[in-house]
Amino acid sequence: MPSWLNEIASVLDRAESPVRVFFRDDDAGWANDKLFNLMDKFAKAEMPIDLAVIPQSLECNLADELLARWQQGRHLLGLHQHGYSHTNHELSGRKCEFGASRTKTQQMADIANGQIVLKAYLAEAFDPFFTPPWNRCTQDTVDCLEALEFKLLSRDVTATKYHTTKLDQVPVHIDWSKIIKSSPDPLTELGNTVASRLSQNETTGIMFHHADMIDEHLNTLAEMLALLSGHQNVQGLLLRDTQG
């Protein structure tokens, strides 16, 4: 086992009950070859992964491939909505597709159109969940999601929680790609960050952006997935498994 995994393995060995972990990859619809490479790593390890799919970037060939993989192992693949076009509408400040610059009517139209697209392409494989691009949205977004009968909102753990009586809010806690790109010692930081979060014995969400991942990053991921999938104290989840 690679040494960077030692801390994670130690936490898992000491766990008194199985630790719960889910994985979310954003921007499905872009860089399909890299998306399929990422999915192959998860399939080989028999670990589940949720894909946040950009409606306006979904075309027939990709939809067919996603459906085929879902049918082969629907307990290992979740497919949900990632905004509409992944377009930044803010003129200043942080990027956001569903931010303060957009009216509730505009947001409703985009979310509803995206929902129609994904239902048409993915049918029963579509989970009524929503991840906003850049993990940012507003209370208006939440109100729209409720009206459109979405069941879950997934963003970053640092995002402000909004008022809702109908949506589960299930955040990701670790941005894998950010650590890989920005840390001077990414493997050590990944090992320590994942181990620290898992040691809290709470559901842990790990986020990827496949378009940013090269073969070296995928091999690192495969090393961790091999450890997690082979350990009796790990319970791999889909977002749908976190409900209720």
Q: Where are the domains of the chain?
A: 3-242
Indicate the DSSP class of residue 213.
-
Percent helix, strand, coil in the chain, to 5, is 50, 20, 35
Query: pLDDT tens digit string along 196-218?
Result: 999 998 999 999 999 999 999 99
CATH class of 3-242: alpha beta
Q: Which residue, among 240, 188, 207, 232, has the nearest Cα to 38 in the 3D structure?
A: 207
Provide the pLDDT for residue 3.
96
φ, ψ dihedrals at 89, nearest 5°: -105, 0
Residue 244, pLDDT score:
64
Model pLDDT for residues 3-26, shown as the tens digit of each residue: 999 999 999 999 999 999 999 999
Of 8, 32, 53, 22, nearest in space to 220 by CA: 8
Give dist(CA 98, CA 144) in Å, integer: 11
The first and second tokens of residue 208, run together, are 């990827």
Per-residue pLDDT of the chain in tens (244 residues, 90 and over written 9): 899 999 999 999 999 999 999 999 999 999 999 999 999 999 999 999 999 999 999 999 999 999 999 999 999 999 999 999 999 999 999 999 999 999 999 999 999 999 999 999 999 999 999 999 999 999 999 999 999 999 999 999 999 899 999 999 999 999 999 999 899 999 999 999 999 999 998 999 999 999 999 999 999 999 999 999 999 999 999 999 998 6
Region of 86 (left: φ > 0; alpha: ψ -120 to 50; beta: rest) is left
Those residues whose C-beta lies under 8 Å from the C-beta of residue 241, and which sit 6 or more positions away, are 22, 48
Give the relative orientation of helices 6-14 and 215-229 as an angle to the nearest 10 degrees: 20
Q: What are phi and psi of 213, to 5 degrees?
A: -95, 125
Nearest Cα to Cα of residue 153 among 170, 140, 175: 170
The residue among 72, 5, 70, 73 whose CA lies nearest residue 231 is 5
Alpha-carbon radius of gyration of the chain: 18
